[in-house]
Amino acid sequence: MADITNIDKSKLPKHVAIIMDGNGRWAKQKGKLRIFGHQNGVQSVRDATEAATELGIQFLTLYAFSTENWNRPQSEVDALMELLVSTIHKEVNTLNKNQIKLAAIGDIKSLPKNCQAELADAIQQTSKNKRLTLVLALSYSSKWEIIKAVKEISEKVKSKELSVADINEDLFSNFLCTNKIPDPELLIRTSGELRISNFLLWQIAYSELYFTEKLWPDFRKEDFFDAILAYQNRERRFGKTSEQVKGN
Ligand code: FPP
């Protein structure tokens, strides 16, 4: 297992994104209700956030609730929303103490009113922090985000604020929820599932993917360091040959 001293601080990703998966299975293994897994997942959120802060990573995005998660049993959705509200409320002081800025992406207006209010309050209270930006993906899905961008661009073409010739990768990226955030160089998924599940599809075009068998509530700082170490051992070619990359 890696510890922080194994990591080359000059080769860090700026942005790490995580699909936190396996809370339900973790709880089931223990003969508990699914929400018990989500509750224990909060400590893993703390661990990943601390690890990213200690390393000096600038952005950490966590897939906390997908558009598709609304289809779960109402009792689980309600419990997850309550957990989000209480966790955000409890952690604001810690975020400020560690200079962490909170941000959110997704269809935030679809969240319950108390969740929106708690989130807006925490975002405002942490807005001046400069160390790590912790981005929560809430009621988020990549297809939703892309369709939203297409509609907004289409409206601007219709009103002649933009022409079709203006549309390129940079312009399109500016209409995504992540417009102020660099693309993640590393995407981690826990629980052994080998899927992207509608997360940051545009933004991960060239991300390194890292899958671990660990269920999210078991994910500790050392697991985060392991993922960073694996990333540092990859050769990122961006379509070039290995010889070209090494020659650069
Ligand atoms: C996936 O596990 C996890 C989620 C859908 C929710 C993640 C939420 C938390 C860790 C709670 C708090 C988060 C924050 C940011 C305060 P799953 O339920 O899909 O697990 P399974 O695949 O084993 O069923």
Question: What percentage of the chain reaches a pLDDT higher than 70?
Answer: 100
Instruction: Spell out the residues 6+ positions from residue 88 whose beta carbon is closer than 8 angstroms to its own.
Output: 102, 118, 119, 122
What value does the mean pLDDT take over residues 174-181?
Answer: 97
To which residue do tokens 């020659």 refer?
Answer: 247
Per DSSP, the three-state class of 33 is: coil
Residue 33 beta carbon below 6 angstroms from any ligand 1 atom: no
Going by pLDDT thresholds of 50, 70 and 90, the confidence category of residue 206 is: very high
Instruction: Spell out the residues 6+ positions from residue 22 whose beta carbon is closer than 8 angstroms to its own.
Output: 37, 190, 191, 192, 193, 214, 215, 216, 217
Residue 217 beta carbon below 6 angstroms from any ligand 1 atom: no
Going by pLDDT thresholds of 50, 70 and 90, the confidence category of residue 138 is: very high
Contact 218, 191 (CB under 8 A): no
Instruction: Give per-residue pLDDT as tens, 213-233.
Output: 999 999 999 999 999 999 999
Q: Residue 175 Cα, ligand 1 centroid: separation in angstroms?
A: 27
Q: Does the structure show a pLDDT above 90 at 211?
A: yes
Q: Residue 62 Cα, ligand 1 centroid: separation in angstroms?
A: 10
Per DSSP, the three-state class of 93 is: helix
Q: Report how far residue 46's alpha carbon sits from residue 26's, in angstroms, rounded to the nearest whole number.
A: 18
Q: Residue 83 Cα, ligand 1 centroid: separation in angstroms?
A: 11
Domain range annotation of the chain? 12-141+185-234
Mean pLDDT of the chain: 97
Going by pLDDT thresholds of 50, 70 and 90, the confidence category of residue 237 is: confident
* CA of 41, closest atom in ligand 1: 10
Q: Which entry of 6, 8, 21, 179 is annotated as an active-site residue? A: 21
Instruction: Tell me the CATH number of domain 12-141+185-234, given options 3.40.50.720, 3.40.50.1010, 3.30.590.20, 3.40.1180.10.
Output: 3.40.1180.10
Instruction: Give per-residue pLDDT as tens, 8-66.
Output: 999 999 999 999 999 999 999 999 999 999 999 999 999 999 999 999 999 999 999 99
Residue 62 beta carbon below 6 angstroms from any ligand 1 atom: yes
Q: What is the pLDDT of residue 248?
A: 63
Residue 38 beta carbon below 6 angstroms from any ligand 1 atom: yes
Contact 228, 12 (CB under 8 A): yes
Who has greater pLDDT, 230 or 235?
Answer: 230
69 is catalytic: yes
Residue 41 beta carbon below 6 angstroms from any ligand 1 atom: yes
114 is catalytic: no
Tell me which residue has its CA closest to atom 4 in ligand 1. 64
